[in-house]
């Protein structure tokens, strides 16, 4: 079928396809709201998420008009902690995924383009690292170097690049023998120029989709770490940590673990919806 | 000559973000029993979509058959239920596609695929349909058919695969074979073999052939009547000799002139300037007018109908009438 | 003046699709080719699928390294060059690709695609780059406004023009055209062929024109070489080879071409059988299983290329 594509750039084509997906738009809305909440946190709640309130009177207050999601054992407003906590979770997730994606792209592109020995070595490293259970790796590192949020970010990134590397490598392998890549080589472009100018731009959609879908996973991983007490150190609010702290009082003050848990779930769902819709928009299945 | 297939005013539309394109825009084709008709045109003219529409194989979004009828054996194929259509496909009307590598299932042997085509339409047991399949492979001149029965598509050359496709298509002795660019993906030396084979089979099985191609030379070899399409409509229709010797449409003339013929080494090839129009942005009036060397004032104002140049030769050109 | 000289080019692969463990079957894609191009002329290279013509093209342009052989480009040993010298030398020989739909990067604007060569070799800077791109677009018959658009907005023929402009940007001397019009519509082919002819006349380009359409090859070439199973089997000036082909394969090819004339001779299945797979080349003369004039010696011994009058060479026992 030779119908000419409409004269738009490839990004706007993808965008118009994306707009037709209701789930995708819903996911995007969730994410946008979360980010806005994180940015405008001080405007949304008068309470301080860290400072302890008037402990004897304010502790373990059930959800009510003053405190819509209740307070915790230090008298801190749960809603405020969730809102400020979104800053932590979203920042960590974003940075960690960024590190993982950049690292993975470089390794995958090099492996896919160079082939031969380079490819073999890099992929064996990937395989070896993938064989180690990620949580163990994280726990070990965090136990050795406790107490820093930035460390958590770097570690999450450094343990998460392998899947992206494989994905990028596969895409680069499929592009590598196309005529336009050969033409660039014939013109005299060196390997890094070919990778940078031709292979990576044509892999971007794959990378973006993969990254979006991973953010959800990283948020959960971070939450798990915090739940195990090895994530962001208190009193900085992090959702995982809040779930952890609320464990003890689950029977009585159920709101302490439940609401942060819901926040995690909603965020992950939002990113997954967004990622799936982006995938359909930029890698549509063609008819016939 | 008895009419076998009569397509009347077929309109097939494809929807896209830019609107609906009438890829086939009012096409009427007649094929008589045991006749070889050539359907010629370049990419985007709608010839393949016409073939798929006859077989009701248009993918339903984004395409749909919007109007017209396809009369075959007294019924309009566009209105019969799908289960009846399935009894027609592969059985009464078969189709052979251009690229045999993607038309054959790589996981099954070629023999199996031919046998399956037979078993689908005829009530034959396994042994009987296998025997028939081997006969079909022999018919299409595959050497050593008993052994080749067990070969997989990737183990065979392009020419062989195309023969297997033809064997599958002919296994139920259809009355009409639609061949969509059957030789375009093949080497020159093999093209000759396939064209010869199709000609022989057509005579032997008293079968009609609708040969779809962009190659006027192939049509000259095989067809008795030729239909030329451009941008979704028929622009010329005539017996094959008159098409070449008394061409009545400037597009056909341009096509013939631009072929680099053997033993005619010259300075410049004659060309048709410009490009095939975008189906969403057709020029006003005659669709060919913006590229036509013989255009005059009337051409961009109204689309010409098909005029009769002689009893069996028609042309859609204001120079021929009106 | 001889601008390209290739001697004894061989390109062998180990196919991974082998039946035995360890090394796969040896694929002799190109098996001893000598080629000489005179400046300003066109050599047509004809052959069917699997004969090795595309592999030969890639080797000549050094997209792949030959297993054996030498290439002199303008008198310089092309294969010995490395690094910056190689990069500069690459300007002299460029390629036009077959498939207009995969030969342009879909994410790059047409202007960037054409400018890539200019940028790599620093042939111009800043605004001068844009001027050059506009000039090249004009030269291939496209308007300057095309530079801002993307490949998917153009038809097959227009994309080929863009590809040609990209090659011309580095001011090459030799252009290898690998089936440049096979994927195009009939009426567009003539446009591109004429364009290539004009460019050759204006710029003194030398062409190696690879095609399977004999009519086009006859039209554009000064000499024609016919390839079969990795070797050249006949080579001669165009008029000679078409007027009186000597090798049975060449004769068969010419006879197989369907003629656009309903009252003319029907295309015969002039060559029986199939093109052999490069993994399974018959012993002796590779064409012997299909040859209508095969003799006993053909099945056993491989013939060499011998001169056969004028500038002709043929690889066939009939002429020894």
Cα dihedral sign, B284-B290-B292-B297: positive
Residues of B in contact with A16 (CB under 8 A): 17
Run of H or E including C68: strand C68-73
Strands B19-32 and B3-16: antiparallel
Residue in chain C closest to A7 (alpha carbons) equals C153
pLDDT at A59 over 80: no
Q: Is A107 domain-assigned?
A: yes
Specify the long-range contacts of residues C304-311, CB closer than 8 Å, at least 24 apart: C305/C34, C305/C232, C305/C235, C308/C246, C310/C236, C310/C237, C310/C240, C311/C223, C311/C236, C311/C237, C311/C240
CA distance B257 to C193: 14
Whole-number Cα distances in Å, A129 to A109, A122, A124, B273, C87: 18, 11, 9, 60, 38
Residue range C112-144, pLDDT digits in tens: 999 999 999 999 998 999 999 999 999 999 999
Query: Does some domain include residue C50?
Result: yes
Nearest to B157 among C185, C266, C275 (CB): C275
Instruction: Examine residue A61 and state whether it is found in any structural domain, yes or no.
Output: no
Q: 3-state DSSP call for residue A156?
A: helix
**Candidate from B17, B49, B279 with C-beta closest to A6:** B17
Could you tell me the pLDDT band of residue B322, with boundaries at 50, 70 and 90?
A: low
Tens digits of residue pLDDT in A207-237? 888 888 888 888 888 888 877 777 777 777 8
Burial status of residue B184 (CB atoms within 10 A of its CB: 0-12, 13-18, 19 or more): middle
B23 to A3: CB separation less than 8 angstroms, yes or no: yes
Tell me if C271 is assigned to some domain.
yes
Is residue A98 a part of any domain in this protein? yes
Its ipTM equals: 0.87
- Taking residues B187-192, what's their average pLDDT? 82
Number of domains comprising chain C: 1
Range of the domain at C258: 2-92+172-319
More confident residue, C138 or A87: C138
Helix B126-139 to helix B158-170 angle (10° resolution) is 130
Residue C113 lies inside a defined structural domain of this protein: no
Check CB contact under 8 Å for B278 and A1.
no
Q: How far apart are CA A29 and CA C115, in angstroms?
A: 41
pLDDT given for residue A6 in this prediction: 41
CATH number at residue C181: 3.40.50.300
* Mean pLDDT calculated for residue range A114-132: 91
Residue B217: Cβ-neighbour burial (10 angstroms; 0-12, 13-18, 19+): buried
Count of domains in chain A?
Answer: 1
What is the predicted pLDDT for the residue at C129? 94
Residue C36 within any structural domain of the chain? yes
CB C96 within 8 A of CB C160: yes
Question: Can you give the length of chain C in residues?
Answer: 320
Q: What is the pLDDT of residue A105?
A: 94
Task: Give partners of A (≥3 CB pairs < 8 A).
Answer: B, C
Per-residue model confidence as pLDDT tens digits over A143-156: 777 667 777 788 88
| Chain B partners within 8 Å of A18 (Cβ) | none
pTM recorded for the entire structure? 0.85
| Disruptive mutation site among C107, C108, C148, C160 for chain A (greatest number of A CBs within 10 Å) | C107
Residue C14 CB partners (closer than 8 Å, separation 6+): C23, C24, C25, C26, C27
Helix H or strand E segment including C11: strand C2-14
In a domain, A165, yes or no: yes
Size of interface A-C (CB pairs under 8 A): 73
Question: Does position A4 have pLDDT exceeding 50, yes or no?
Answer: no
Residue C190 lies inside a defined structural domain of this protein: yes
The Cα A108–Cα A256 span in angstroms is 43
Q: What is the pLDDT of residue A9?
A: 56
Residue B175 carries which DSSP code?
Answer: S
- Residue A171 structural domain: 13-46+76-282
Which residue in B has a C-alpha nearest to residue C222's C-alpha? B265
Query: Considering the domain boundaries, does residue C202 fall inside one?
Result: yes
Contacts of B279 in chain A (CB under 8 A): 3-4
pLDDT of the residue at C24: 67
Asked if A197 lies within 8 A of C99 by C-beta distance, the reply is: no
Residues forming a β-bridge with B69 = B8
Q: What pLDDT is attached to residue A2?
A: 37
Give the Cβ contact number of residue A131 at 10 Å. Answer: 8
Nearest to B244 among C187, C254, C262 (CB): C262
Q: Say if C268 falls within a structural domain.
A: yes
Q: For position A176, which CATH number holds?
A: 1.10.3720.10
Q: Is residue A287 part of a domain?
A: no
């Amino acid at each position: 079928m030779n119908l000419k594509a409409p004269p738009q750039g490839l990004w706007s084509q993808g965008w118009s396809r994306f707009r037709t997906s209701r789930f995708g738009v819903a996911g995007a809305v969730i994410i946008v709201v979360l980010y806005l909440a994180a940015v405008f946190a001080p405007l949304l709640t008068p309470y301080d998420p860290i400072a302890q309130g008037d402990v004897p009177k304010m502790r373990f207050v059930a959800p009510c008009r003053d405190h819509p999601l209740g307070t915790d054992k230090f008298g801190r407003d749960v809603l405020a902690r969730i809102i400020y906590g979104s800053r932590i979770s979203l920042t960590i997730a974003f940075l960690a995924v960024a590190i993982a994606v950049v690292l993975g792209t470089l390794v995958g592109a090099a492996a896919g383009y160079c082939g031969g020995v380079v490819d073999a070595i890099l992929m064996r490293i990937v395989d070896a690292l993938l064989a180690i259970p990620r949580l163990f790796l994280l726990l070990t590192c965090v136990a050795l170097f406790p107490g820093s949020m930035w460390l958590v970010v770097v570690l999450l990134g450094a343990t998460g690049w392998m899947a992206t590397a494989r994905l990028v490598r596969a895409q680069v392998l499929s592009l590598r023998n196309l005529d336009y890549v050969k033409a660039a080589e014939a013109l005299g472009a060196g390997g890094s120029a070919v990778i940078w100018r031709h292979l990576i731009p044509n892999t971007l959609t794959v990378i973006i989709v993969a990254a979006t879908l991973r953010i959800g996973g990283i948020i959960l991983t971070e939450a798990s770490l915090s739940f195990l007490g090895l994530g962001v150190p208190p009193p900085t609010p992090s959702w995982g940590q809040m779930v952890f702290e609320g464990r003890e009082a689950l029977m009585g003050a159920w709101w302490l673990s439940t609401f942060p848990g819901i926040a995690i779930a909603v965020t992950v769902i939002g990113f997954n919806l967004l990622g799936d819709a982006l995938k359909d928009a930029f890698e549509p299945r063609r008819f016939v | 000559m008895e009419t076998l297939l009569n397509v009347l005013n077929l309109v097939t539309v494809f929807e896209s973000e830019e609107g609906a394109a009438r890829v086939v825009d009012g096409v009427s084709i007649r094929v008589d029993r045991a006749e070889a008709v050539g359907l010629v045109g370049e990419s985007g003219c709608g010839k393949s979509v016409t073939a798929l529409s006859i077989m009701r194989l248009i993918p339903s979004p984004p395409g749909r058959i919007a109007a017209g009828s396809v009369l075959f054996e007294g019924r309009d194929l566009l209105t019969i239920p799908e289960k009846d259509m399935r009894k027609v496909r592969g059985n009464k009307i078969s189709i052979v596609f251009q690229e045999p590598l993607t038309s054959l299932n790589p996981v099954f042997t070629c023999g199996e695929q031919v046998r399956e085509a037979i078993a689908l339409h005829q009530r034959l047991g396994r042994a009987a349909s296998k025997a028939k399949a081997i006969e079909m492979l022999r018919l299409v001149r595959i050497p050593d058919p008993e052994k080749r029965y067990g070969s997989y598509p990737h183990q065979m050359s392009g020419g062989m695969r195309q023969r297997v496709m033809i064997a599958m298509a002919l296994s139920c002795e259809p009355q009409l074979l639609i061949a969509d660019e059957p030789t375009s993906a093949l080497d020159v030396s093999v093209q000759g073999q396939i064209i010869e084979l199709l000609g022989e089979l057509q005579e032997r099985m008293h079968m009609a052939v609708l040969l779809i191609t962009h190659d006027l030379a192939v049509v000259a070899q095989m067809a008795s009547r030729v239909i030329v399409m451009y941008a979704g409509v028929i622009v010329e229709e005539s017996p094959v000799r008159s098409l070449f010797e008394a061409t009545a449409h400037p597009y056909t003339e341009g096509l013939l002139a631009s072929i680099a013929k053997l033993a005619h080494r010259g300075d410049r090839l004659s060309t048709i300037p410009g490009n095939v129009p975008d189906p969403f942005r057709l020029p006003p009036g005659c669709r060919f007018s913006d590229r036509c060397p013989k255009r005059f004032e009337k051409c961009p104002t109204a689309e010409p109908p098909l005029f009769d140049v002689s009893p069996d030769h028609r042309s859609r050109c204001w120079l021929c009438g009106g | 003046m001889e601008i390209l000289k290739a001697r004894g080019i061989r390109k062998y692969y180990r196919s991974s699709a082998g039946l035995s463990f360890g090394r796969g079957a040896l694929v002799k894609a190109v098996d001893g080719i000598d080629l000489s191009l005179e400046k300003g002329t066109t050599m047509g290279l004809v052959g069917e699928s699997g004969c090795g013509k595309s592999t030969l093209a890639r080797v000549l342009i050094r997209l792949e390294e030959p297993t054996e052989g030498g290439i002199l480009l303008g008198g310089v040993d092309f294969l010995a060059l490395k690094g910056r010298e190689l990069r500069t030398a690459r300007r002299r020989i460029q390629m036009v690709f077959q498939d207009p739909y995969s030969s342009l990067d879909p994410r790059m604007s047409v202007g960037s695609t054409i400018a890539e060569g200019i940028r790599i070799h620093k042939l111009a800077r800043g605004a001068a780059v844009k001027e050059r791109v506009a000039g090249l677009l004009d030269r291939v018959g496209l308007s300057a406004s095309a530079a801002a658009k993307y490949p998917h907005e153009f038809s097959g023929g227009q994309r080929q023009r863009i590809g040609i402009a990209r090659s011309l940007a580095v001011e090459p001397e030799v252009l290898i055209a690998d089936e440049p019009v096979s994927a195009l519509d009939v009426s567009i082919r003539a446009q591109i062929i004429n364009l290539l002819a004009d460019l050759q006349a204006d710029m003194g380009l030398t062409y190696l024109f690879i095609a399977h359409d004999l009519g086009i090859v006859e039209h554009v070439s000064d000499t024609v070489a016919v390839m079969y199973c990795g070797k050249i089997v006949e080579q001669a000036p165009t008029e000679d080879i078409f007027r009186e082909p000597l090798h049975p394969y060449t004769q068969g090819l010419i006879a197989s071409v369907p003629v656009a004339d309903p009252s003319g001779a029907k295309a015969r299945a002039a060559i029986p059988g199939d093109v052999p797979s490069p993994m399974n080349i018959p012993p002796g003369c590779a064409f012997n299983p299909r040859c209508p004039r095969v003799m006993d010696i053909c099945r056993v011994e491989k013939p060499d290329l011998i001169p056969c009058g004028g500038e002709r060479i043929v690889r066939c026992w009939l002429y020894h």
